[in-house]
Chain A
Amino acid sequence: MNSTSNGVPRTAAETQVRVRAGLARRYRAERRFRAYGLAAVALGISFVVFLFGTVLSQGLSVLRQGYVQLDIIYDPEVIDPAGTRLPDDLAVADYQALVRAALRERFPDVEGRPALRELYGLVSSAASVELQKRVTADPGLIGQRQRVTLLADDTVDMLLKGKVSRSAPEDERRLSDAQVAWVDALRADGALQLRFNRAFFTNGDSRDPEQAGVRGAVVGSFLTLLITLLLSFPIGVGAAVYLEEFAPRNRITDIIEVNINNLAAVPSIVFGLLGLAMFISFFGMPRSAPLVGGLVLTLLTLPTVIIASRAALKAVPPSIREAALGMGASRWQTVVHHVLPLAMPGVLTGAIIGMARALGESAPLLMIGMVAFIVEVPAGALDPSTVLPVQVFLWSDLPERGFVERTSGAIIVLLLFLIVMNATAVVLRNKFEKRW
């Protein structure tokens, strides 16, 4: 038998020949596998980069907003013709007229109703609210002249940010040639510029893009998630501890386990319908409320929390349980003193991942009315409210250019929250992790 035969090698030399013959193939397979892995990672990263790139490039401009400075004359004839100075009278005055007068004063050449209407369109309707606030706070302003910074209209804002093309034909853009000329005139004497956009972080939703902010959605998301966390964490961990440490292994617990796993895979919109039927129709809870949202998301995250907690409990070595039981610790003491603290990193990670999923959910919340248009920032868990992903959904549907920017802005806020939560999960896991 020679070394090239196909039989079983019988000597070390024959074995070596066989090994050498196969080496190249083995290394090739390894290299190929590495290349596949690298390609997969590269593809994933490129998608992430693309996502962040588009969202940031479209949404970061939301941090700045166009403001126009006008010399407002607080005309007593307009604000308070009767001269009562009563807060009720001051509140209902036609402040828009003050803005219009200031604009006419700045551009005295403009004449005719259509031209004037275009001129008035440069300033946001929020300007009158701003003036009303100032006068209500200080009635002494009446009769005086003051340079006031007011929100520009979203079309002006878009022009300032270069998101409206000047070269486009007039009938294809939202600003007329005359308006563009006025904007340039205002910019020339420094009365029109981009400033930090506080309103985006302090306002609720609005029909006007320049006034719309994420505060309502952020507070709504926070309240909803708080309720979800307060309910799903203790219930989920409690269920996991019972199932893992106390429950007997029999048919019933097997069925429960299978069903928990099934629940984790149920489409989230089904939980929304369940919440609608149970919490709103049956228990009569208010629509659009973070309370109901939190309850629905609790149903949604419970399976995740239970599964993650059970996995974490299972990973605690049985020798620790035996040590505690052997010392005469009761089962409850064994769990509370030893098993649960050791499982905590995994439990917390599971809970936070569940919360992150809940933060990104929109479908079930549509079912319970959290998709309504709500201007007020919610003050409590029973107030009508929306949440960040639903706000993104709402804005993405609107035609104004300003809402495109705000959609991306809201996505950035949402992503920031998700990153903070996931980073917290990592930090907590590292902090509580113990070796045994």
Chain B
Amino acid sequence: MSDKAVPPVREGIRTIGQVTVPEPVFACRDVNVHYGDKHAIKDVNIDIGRAEVLAMIGPSGCGKSTFLRCLNRMNDTIESARVTGLIALDGQDIHDKRRDVVQLRARVGMVFQKPNPFPKSIYENVAYGPRIHGLAADRGELDEIVNVSLRRAGLWEEVKDRLNNPGTSLSGGQQQRLCIARAIAVNPDVILMDEPCSALDPIATARIEDLIDELRESYAICIVTHSMQQAARVSQRTAYFHLGDLIEVGETKKIFTNPQAKLTEDYITGRFG
């Protein structure tokens, strides 16, 4: 894995702070997103490191979710969306004609804002990814993948006796952990989380946050959140977006204690949001 194809960040970008990291999973250079006439993301440059949680914060409509959805090309499904610039996963452009979007999404898992388990059994929810990608040769291997994935998502003890119940019968927090188990069942490199706790109560939220902390050892995690406390608790690096601009990136501790940009400071001190 080399980053030979990724150019260095050009001079003169407006983002304050350290946007690059050594040996990044994702390297993004001058990424722009347009929805029709709307310029939703403007010249974003950022690296995403291995085994770290990157939190993206910012007021509503600032483009953080849009940017997250660029990383596994979910914006492809929106007809008016146009993404330009370089997004390199392990040094290779994800928009390269030779790269397949299906393969990309198997490497970059996603957890959505609202828990969206398939209306199938718990087992089938987790087994779906391995099935379509042909990861298990027989039922035994599939059982093992489901078992391991549910354990890693901290859900095994709660559902081991009712794997055939529908996934939608679980509580909201359990559903979201099921979605995480579903995402990690295909061994991704990166997990994208789009406000994964916004529909959950504080206890379920705490469980997911603990889980994110555990998963960080194995996966790079990008999390979009509206809760600054959550960003502070779970992330190592934080990126602050404002109206499509990436204003500031840095270590979470630094961003929250000593923000460099005026906009960042105003936001985290609650002057707007």
Contacts and interface: CB of A to CB of B under 8 A. Distances in A.
Interface stretch (B40-48, B104-112, B220-228): B104-112
The A interface is mostly helix, strand or loop, or mixed, namely: helix
A330 B103 CA distance: 10
Contacts of A333: 132
A325 interface: yes
A81 to B, nearest CB: 79
Contacts of B132: 327-329, 333, 337
Interface in A321-366: 321-330, 333, 337-338, 342
A249 B79 contact: yes
Contacts of A323: 112, 116-118, 179, 182
Given A338-B118, A342-B119, A436-B119, A326 B102 contact: no
A434 B118 CA distance: 11
A327 B74 contact: no
A424 to B, nearest CB: 23
A319 B79 contact: no
B152 interface: no
The B interface is mostly helix, strand or loop, or mixed, namely: helix
B20 interface: no
A211 to B, nearest CB: 56
Given A319-B112, A328-B129, A329-B102, A435 B74 contact: no
Interface residues of A, number: 22
B205 to A, nearest CB: 20
Give the interface size bracket for B toward A: 20 to 34
A327 B77 contact: no
Given A248-B79, A323-B179, A328 B119 contact: no
Interface string B125-163: 000110011000000000000000000000000000000
A340 to B, nearest CB: 13
A320 interface: yes
Contacts of A319: 112, 114, 116
Nearest to A341: B119
Contacts of B15: none
Interface in A376-434: 434
Contacts of B103: 328
Given A320-B118, A338-B118, A434-B119, A326 B106 contact: no
A327 B182 contact: yes
Given A249-B79, A319-B114, A338-B118, A327 B168 contact: no
Nearest to B76: A325
A333 B182 CA distance: 16
Interface in B182-219: 182-183, 186
